[in-house]
């Protein structure tokens, strides 16, 4: 299994768009992105990189493989 590395929020949004998501759209406390009937909540902008553990949870929720993520 390939290792994930931390990414910026901008990179997270770019990769999700490359994987077919649209957005981000404004929400209550967090923005979200959509692909078909799936709605993913994404973290708010901040200076720190997004942890690989969080990225794994997002990928699992979206049904995206790590290989697809790394190739996006």
Instruction: Tell me the pLDDT band of 10, cut-offs 50, 70 and 90.
Output: very high
pLDDT above 60 for 1: no
Residues 23 and 31: beta-carbon distance below 8 Å:
yes
User: For the domain that residue 44 is a member of, what is the CATH number?
Assistant: 3.30.920.30
pLDDT at 67: 92
pLDDT at 2: 65
In a domain, 1, yes or no: no
Q: pTM higher than 0.95 for the full model?
A: no
The total number of structural domains that make up the chain: 1
Instruction: Tell me the pLDDT band of 34, cut-offs 50, 70 and 90.
Output: very high
Structural domain range at position 38: 9-71
In a domain, 36, yes or no: yes
Instruction: Tell me the pLDDT band of 46, cut-offs 50, 70 and 90.
Output: confident
Instruction: Give all strands (DSSP E) within 1-72, no chain letters.
Output: 22-25, 32-35, 38-41
């Amino acid at each position: 299994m390939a290792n994930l590395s931390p990414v910026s929020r901008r990179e997270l949004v770019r990769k999700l768009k490359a994987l077919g998501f649209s957005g981000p759209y404004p929400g209550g406390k967090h923005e979200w992105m959509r692909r078909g009937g799936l709605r993913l909540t994404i973290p708010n902008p901040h200076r720190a990189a997004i942890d690989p553990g969080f990225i794994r949870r997002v990928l699992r929720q979206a049904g995206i493989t790590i290989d697809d993520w790394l190739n996006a």
